Structures are given as structure tokens and as C-alpha cells.
Amino acid sequence: MFDYCIFPGTPEGIELGFASNLFEGIFWKEGNYIVIEDITSLKPRQGNLNNLFNKILEKGLGIKITNPLPLMESICKKKGFYLTYGAVHPGICDDIVKIYVLKEGEQEE
């Protein structure tokens, strides 16, 4: 189950690089992971998503991206995420979806 959600522009969001001038959406803190379900880059193709991933990993957290659209899926593959399947909200919604996962030390350079 999720610990709490993180919004862009909040102190924790900014610490992770999730600034309101760069992104819209929310993500979730779940144990030692940040779960990204739906975010939009407000300044695409400028490296902001890569910087966000790197800051999350530098904090010792892993990243899970659920049911990504094709562009995000391509980014995940290039970054070194591995693919698994599972329920995002077990007990609430048990639909099985794609989940791309990356932990510190696993990413591509």
C-alpha cells in the first residue's frame, strides 16, 4: 500500500526534482520506491525526466513506472528499467499492468 502522494512544487517534490514549473501530475511514495503513475513534462526533451530519475535514485529510492505510454516505455528501456507485471493497488484495483522498475546501481549511463 502507498505511504503518501507527492505533488510537484511541494518541499519533498522539489527535493526530488519534481518542480511545478517542470511537471504536472503526482507520484507516490511506497516503501523504498517512488511510484510514477501519471506525470507530464511541461518542458519535454530537456533532460528533466532523466534528472528526476537520477535525484530519486541518489536518495536511495527505487522507481516504479506503471502502465507507461509508448514514449515513457522507450525512455524506461533506454534508462535500464526492467519490466514486470503486477497490480498497482492490490485489494483496491487488482488489474495486472506493466510496471517498469529501476533501483540505484541498475541504471544505464
CATH of the domain at 97: 3.40.630
Task: State the pLDDT confidence band at 52, using cuts at 50, 70 and 90.
Answer: very high
What's the domain range around 22? 4-102
Q: Is residue 87 part of a domain?
A: yes
- Which band of pLDDT confidence, cut at 50, 70 and 90, is reported for residue 90? low
Number of folded domains in the chain? 1
Residue found by looking up cell 492490490 in the block: 90
Show Cβ contacts of residue 33 under 8 Å, excluding neighbours closer than 6 positions. Answer: 61, 62, 63, 64, 101
Q: Is residue 81 part of a domain?
A: yes
Look up cell 507516490; give the residue: 28
Q: Is the pLDDT of residue 92 over 80?
A: no
- Cell digits of residue 19: 518542480
| In the predicted structure, residue 103 carries a pLDDT above the cut 90 | no
User: What does the DSSP assignment read for 15-42?
Assistant: HTT--TTTEEEEEEEETTEEEEEEEEES
